[in-house]
Amino acid sequence: MDLPTYTPAQLHQYLAHIEYPSDPPAVPIDGSLPPAAAAAAQLALLTALARHHLARVPFESLALHYSPQRHISLDPAALFQKVVSAGRGRGGYCMEVNGLFGTVLRSLGFARVAAAAARVDLGAGFRAWGHMVNLVTLPDGARYLVDVGFGSRTPHAPLRLRDDGRPEVLAGRWRLERTRLREHSDPGPRAWVLSTRAEKGDGEAAGWTARYAVSEEEWFPEDFAMVNLFVSTAPQSYFVQTVMVVKALLNEDRTRVVGEMILHKDYVKRKLGRSSSDDGAEDAGETEEMLERMETEAQRVRALEKYFGIVLTPAEQAAITGLPSEIRGGRKEFMA
């Protein structure tokens, strides 16, 4: 199946949008290198692209709250318009931002990029399919999970799917391993489980918590269209219920993710620590700073612009009126 790709002009525009330092990426991906060397070059490019993407394309649910239509399109052209061409600082949830990123990778020449589905564990066990990731196979046959759309728990770099039975650990914070889910009737390992761990209050690492389980089966756009319909419309969907924005923060030379800026419902906080860089280095320590509590919709609209550079039109601001996610305190005022 031939999947859509972006034009060279669109790639130029995307790379400028994520502030990638080279255009086009100065890495040969056309088979001119031996497999091992080509794989190393592609992995370095993949890691850098993901990092810059995370810092410029937020994980957010705004279209389900601040939009008269409240419609989520997964069409690559529509995603490019929303995230890149419109120039409004917007992103989307997993199927939007990972769908866009997968199309970018195919357009750059990565030969094997497969969209895959995951079951998310919100604390009550693994349930229905509800998350998208990309699985990228490099010239030496190594496979990597690439996810740029899992909120504050998004891996900061690709994670290798290891076939030797050992888990892959990134920056002491993410772990990927092939294992059996407790919900499986088959005793054999059948899924790749991403787990995370944070720090306890005493600065020591807490235990691992499973977050999602990925199937290796490639999913087609039609498959995700069904999932997207539920996630974007069902009253019980987390994204339908919750206004949220998460964007990565980089260090000064943009070689390392050092934290996240998070808007969740009625607060904004900055989380720093447990970062990762191209060489897999780890920074110890996590800190959280509460930046603002919002009591009115006008305050939340101002916070979106102040902390994320997202400016909503008056029509978009008005669209949340009457929804369960609306902040109902205070007087309504729409900002022109």
pLDDT of residue 30: 64
| Tokens coding 169 | 């650990």
159-163, 187-191, 307-311, range with the lowest pLDDT: 187-191
* 131 a catalytic residue: yes
* Domain assignment present for 206: yes
Q: How many angstroms separate the CA atoms of 254 and 18, rounded? A: 11
Res. 331 pLDDT band, cuts 50 70 90: very low
For residue 190, the enclosing domain spans: 8-318
pLDDT given at position 285 = 63
Band of the pLDDT at 74, cuts 50, 70, 90?
very high
Show Cβ contacts of residue 131 under 8 Å, excluding neighbours closer than 6 positions.
Answer: 94, 117, 118, 119, 120, 150, 212
Rounded Cα–Cα distance for residues 136 and 214 (Å):
13
CATH number, residue 258:
3.30.2140.20
Q: Choosing from 52, 53, 65, 131, which is the catalytic residue?
A: 131
Sole residue written with tokens 């993949």? 46
Phi-psi region of 108 (alpha: psi -120 to 50; beta: other; left: phi over 0): alpha
Q: How many CA atoms lie within 13 A of 279 on its CB side?
A: 2
Mean pLDDT of the chain: 91
Q: Output phi, psi for 137, to 5 deg.
A: -105, 125
147 noted as active-site residue: yes
**Would you place residue 202 in the very low, low, confident or very high pLDDT band (cuts 50, 70, 90)?**
very low
- Do residues 235 and 229 touch, judged by C-beta distance below 8 A? no
Active site (annotated) includes residue 75: no
123 within domain boundaries:
yes
Please name the residues in contact with 52: beta carbons below 8 A apart, sequence gap of 6 or more: 18, 19, 20, 254
- Which one is catalytic: 94, 121, 156, 283? 94
Mean of pLDDT values over 70-82: 98
Q: Is residue 309 part of a domain?
A: yes
Residue 194 contacts residue 178 (beta carbons within 8 Å): no
Residue 2 domain flag: no
* List 121, 147, 156, 283, catalytic entry: 147
Chain centroid to Cα 133, Å, comes to 9
pLDDT digits (tens, 9 = 90+) for 235-289: 999 999 999 999 999 999 999 999 999 999 999 999 998 555 555 455 556 799 9
Evaluate whether residue 240 is within a structural domain.
yes
For the cut 60, the answer to whether the pLDDT of residue 203 exceeds it is no
User: Closest by alpha carbon to 308, among 270, 261, 269, 276?
Assistant: 261
Count other C-beta atoms under 10 Å from residue 299's C-beta.
19
Binned at pLDDT 50, 70 and 90, residue 122 comes out as confident
Count of the separate structural domains present in the chain: 1
CA distance 81 to 6: 12
